[in-house]
């Protein structure tokens, strides 16, 4: 009988620096995993932290980690060839089938780009499986932009808008992600689908703007990022109403997600 609390060792295959506090760790992993799912990454004596999957390969997963506390500080002390403990993947993730054949719109803010990056990568490489894709990604400033190498590729694959709250240098679009939604060219509302990931207040107003454009709430998916401690619905840390985010989420259709309250 498998004990779901026992982690496995995973070797660090590559480390990619994005900002001073955000790196992507490419971890050895073979198994089924979906964009939007998460792993619990742990270091003995320091604890564990839930980290969303930001990339998927045949023998690896990418975990983009922000250095913000005791556990993540210690993770950053590890280099290629060393290993970390992991449990997972947990959660339901994004089902790619929900978006095939649709006109796909993705709006993400800051580290919210990480859980949806796998969806962007997949359909960027298989754009023929959609009726078109638009991505709006917002960051605080130029130095906070994540996945710059991927962004260069996405520019040639889709309608891409990268915006920053404020830039002290020319060449950047400024403003909230919501400011760019009215400019989206949506050819077929009945065949449109949208994904929104980011801080709660950003998701709230982004969904409102998408609805103004005529996209129905059942055509919108969100990801509820929470402090998910156990990952298997036992500790209750991620519970909202009667819903355990680690089990029933973190990805929700908006018809369900809009009703979740602390």
Instruction: Report yes or no: 36 and 93 within 8 Å, Cβ to Cβ.
Output: yes
Binding site members:
230, 235, 238, 246
Instruction: Report yes or no: 7 and 86 within 8 Å, Cβ to Cβ.
Output: yes
Is the four-CA dihedral 199, 200, 203, 208 of positive or negative sign?
Answer: negative
Give strand pairing partners of 133.
104
Binding site members for [2Fe-2S] cluster:
230, 235, 238, 246
Helices (H), 134-176: 148-154
Q: What are residue 137's phi and psi, to 5 degrees? A: -125, 130
DSSP letter for 36, please: T
- Residue 50 CA to residue 66 CA, distance in Å, equals 11
Residues 6+ positions from 237 with CB-CB distance below 8 Å: 226, 227, 228, 229, 230
- Residue 186 CA to residue 105 CA, distance in Å, equals 9
DSSP letters of 226-254?
---SSSSSSS-TTEETTEEHHHH-SEEEH
Instruction: Report yes or no: 164 and 144 within 8 Å, Cβ to Cβ.
Output: yes
- Residue 126 CA to residue 128 CA, distance in Å, equals 5
């Amino acid at each position: 009988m498998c004990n779901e609390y026992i982690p496995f060792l995973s070797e660090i295959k590559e480390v990619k620096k994005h900002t001073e506090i955000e790196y992507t760790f490419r971890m050895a992993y073979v198994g089924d995993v979906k964009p939007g799912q998460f792993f619990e990454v742990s270091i003995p004596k320091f604890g564990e932290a839930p980290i969303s999957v930001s990339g998927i390969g045949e023998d690896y997963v990418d975990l983009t980690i922000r250095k913000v506390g005791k556990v993540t500080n210690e993770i950053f002390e590890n280099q290629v060839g060393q290993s970390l403990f992991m449990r997972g993947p947990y959660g339901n993730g994004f089902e790619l089938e929900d978006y095939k054949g649709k006109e796909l719109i993705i709006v993400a803010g800051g580290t919210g780009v990480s859980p949806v990056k796998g969806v962007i990568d997949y359909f960027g490489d298989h754009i023929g499986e959609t009726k078109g894709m638009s991505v709006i990604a917002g960051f605080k400033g130029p130095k906070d932009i994540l996945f710059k190498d991927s962004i260069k590729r996405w520019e040639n694959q889709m309608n891409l808008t990268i915006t920053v709250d404020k830039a002290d240098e020319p060449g950047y679009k400024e403003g909230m992600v919501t400011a760019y939604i009215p400019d989206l060219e949506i050819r077929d509302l009945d065949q449109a689908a949208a994904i929104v990931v980011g801080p709660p207040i950003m998701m709230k107003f982004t969904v409102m703007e998408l609805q103004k454009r005529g996209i129905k709430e059942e055509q919108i998916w969100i990801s509820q990022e929470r402090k998910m401690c156990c990952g298997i619905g036992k500790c209750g840390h991620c519970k909202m109403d009667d819903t355990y985010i680690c089990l029933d989420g973190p990805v929700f259709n908006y018809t369900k997600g809009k009703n979740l309250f602390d």
